Amino acid sequence: MKYKIITDSTSDVTKEFAEKYDVSILPLQVIFEGTAYKAGVDITTEDFYVRLRECLAEGKALPTTSQISEEEFKDEFELYANKPDVTVIVLLIAKEMSGTYSSALRAVKELGMTNVIIPDSRQVTFSLGAIVAEAAKFAQTEPTVEEMTAKIDDLIDRVQIYASIGDLRCLRAGGRLSALAMTLGTMLKLKPIIEIRDKVDVVAKVISQGKATRWIVDKVAEERDDTLPIYFGSSEAPQILDEFRTKFKDVLRLSGDEEEFPLGPVVGVHAGPGCAGIAFFKKK
């Protein structure tokens, strides 16, 4: 059986990885002052963070985001409507986080296609990217549809992400912190650590980035199934990733070829600059 994997830009899968494994990435939009840009198409990740930092520095309204439309999904799915030998696997931002998932379901129903599978990833950013990556690798082994769906269900059940937040203002704007918590957190230099499962939850608050990094490393070392890779992600926080890769190489049992999926414009709206973390798969 042949497979085509489609994801959206909130998975933060790099173009290089997508090209290598024939993964299609559909862009959500980020909106600055009323002007919409398709993530990774009309605006690069680098340009996005330049503009976001300007908004933060100048006290301007932060950008917003917009989901993928039903018509955009129909345009993509129609490419496989007359290819019954191809099963389309669609891995998108969690349905609780965006209407993108519902748009995809409506598109499939409208087209009457039976060769499209759209599980709820329950994830976003590079934890979604980790699911996409492992599913794409597994698809190359030419599994049956039953084997493929079972694999994806297992990946979704076991994926875990821990990341520290660098700028509390974006987390506050997204409703994840109260105004008081943001003020106190900024004064005390607190680093919230988040996880994702249907929504973003703050699971710990520590003082200093060093302690946040150590917290994440300890949790990954404790919970990880080391038969599967780990994935790094950050929003312009290379120094934190360097610490993961060098200082904690032995603790994390790194091979040296781990993928890094930078947080793109859509996720960057909510995470802000300076976010960094690890996605991995938990032990059974």
Is there a shared CATH topology between the 2-31+66-157 domain and the 159-281 domain?
no
Pick the CATH number of 159-281 from 3.40.190.80, 3.30.1180.10, 3.55.40.20, 3.40.50.10860: 3.30.1180.10
* Angle made by CA atoms 168, 63, 38, in degrees to the nearest 5: 125
pLDDT for res 164: 94
Which segments of the chain are extended strands (E)? 2-8, 23-26, 29-32, 35-38, 64-66, 86-91, 116-117, 159-164, 190-196, 200-207, 231-234, 259-260, 276-281
Smallest CA-to-CA distance from 159 within 94, 242, 248 is with 94
Task: State the pLDDT confidence band at 191, using cuts at 50, 70 and 90.
Answer: confident
Summarised one tens digit per residue, pLDDT across range 46-98 is 999 999 999 999 989 899 999 999 999 999 999 999 999 999 999 999 999 99
**2-31+66-157: what fold?**
Rossmann fold (3.40.50)
Whether the CB-CB separation of 67 and 92 falls below 8 Å is answered with: no
User: CA–CA separation, 251 vs 221, rounded Å?
Assistant: 7
pLDDT for res 173: 57
Whether the CB-CB separation of 22 and 6 falls below 8 Å is answered with: no
Summarised one tens digit per residue, pLDDT across range 110-167 is 999 999 999 999 999 999 999 999 999 999 999 999 999 999 999 999 999 999 988 7
User: CA–CA separation, 192 vs 17, rounded Å?
Assistant: 30
Mean pLDDT of 18-36: 97
Q: For the chain, give every domain's residue range.
A: 2-31+66-157, 159-281
Mean pLDDT of 255-284: 94
Model-level pTM?
0.94
Is the torsion defined by CA of 8, 11, 12, 17 positive or negative?
negative
Task: State the pLDDT confidence band at 181, using cuts at 50, 70 and 90.
Answer: very low
Terminal-residue alpha carbon distance, the chain? 28
Residue 203: count other Cβ atoms within 10 Å of its Cβ. Answer: 12
Where does residue 276 fall: left (phi above 0), alpha (psi -120 to 50 degrees), or beta otherwise? beta
